[in-house]
Amino acid sequence: MQRPDNLELTEYLDQQVKQIQQQVGSSRVLLALSGGVDSSVCAALLSRAIPGQLSCIFVDTGLMRLDEGDQVEAAFADKDLHFIRVDAEARFLSKLAGVIDPEQKRKIIGEEFVRVFEEESVKLGDIPYLAQGTIYPDIVESGAAGSANIKSHHNVGGLPEDLAFTGLVEPLSLLYKDEVRALGTMLNLPDYLVNRQPFPGPGLAVRCIGEVTKEKLDALRVADAIVREELDVLPKSPDQYFAVMTDTYSVGVRDGKRAYSPVVAVRAVATNDFMTAEYVQLPHEVLNRISRRITTEVPTVSRVVYDITSKPPGTVEWE
């Protein structure tokens, strides 16, 4: 299907609702819901088009940001769909134990995701349709306009190829990201889901340098929430901003005693397309507030540093 020159969103929504109803009839549809913008808007649209026929599997990897799992679940509480939240934290952490290589971490997470998804989908019985939040740039970038490739989930593993589906439902496939966000708002999704910044599929594992442990993740979650809270309220927020738990330890003084604890790095970048990015020259009073808050509210952190590397040569993420 071609993207029309003057795409009108209300009309697009009506058309998609009708098209989905025609395509799937009274059959059930399955969706891997990551809580990202695309899969969330896809879920909201399907629950409008075919109330009660959509099952969403939301894998809580334990690698998400502070309260993220609860926020995603809350966003769909009023939608007419079957929301399955799988608490897989223990599984992911046990697979990641002792692993420090970034590529291996991504691979393990991708494979474990597929395994969890498969196990859960089997429990749901035969579901003929798979929905995906593929958007227009995904199709254009893969050089396959009009084709129905299964979108690589988490950019690491992809969904299991041997899951047999009668058909794919991809209702966002003609939309650009800003249109997907606008559609999410039309479908009453909360602002924190619709306007969230990009978050890598492997989650905090790629922001937790070295071995991923629950202790490091818990400290990182609080530090990261502080960074986001402080930068969310700036008149112009950077395009992406977060905390990184480095694997470096430094000496500090805590309660009059010498402490040897981890260093947290703060990252904030401005970018148009994430292919290149500039580090943002944040005001020093903001950096100061972030540093004071992190070292106070996360007592296991000894020191806070600011990453002043642009892309290239750095990447946005540390791993």
Binding site for ligand XMP (CB under 6 A): 154-156, 198, 200-202, 240, 274, 311, 315-317
Question: Any residues with CB less than 8 A from the CB of 312 and at least 6 apart, and which?
Answer: 276
Nearer to ligand XMP, 81 or 159 (CB): 159
Nearer to ligand XMP, 173 or 240 (CB): 240
Nearer to ligand XMP, 155 or 281 (CB): 155
The CA-atom distances, in angstroms, between 216 and each of 43, 157, 261, 301 are 32, 25, 11, 10
Minimum Å gap between C-beta 224 and ligand XMP is 13
**Alpha-helical segments (H) within the chain:** 9-24, 37-49, 68-75, 89-96, 102-123, 136-141, 177-186, 191-194, 214-232, 284-297
Nearest to 57 by CA among 151, 121, 130: 121
Minimum Å gap between C-beta 244 and ligand XMP is 11
Minimum Å gap between C-beta 120 and ligand XMP is 21
Nearer to ligand XMP, 32 or 127 (CB): 32
Nearer to ligand XMP, 24 or 64 (CB): 64
In the β-sheet with 82-87, what is the strand arrangement from edge to edge? 82-87, 54-60, 29-32, 129-131, 167-169
Minimum Å gap between C-beta 277 and ligand XMP is 7
Minimum Å gap between C-beta 168 and ligand XMP is 20
Strand partners for 254: 257
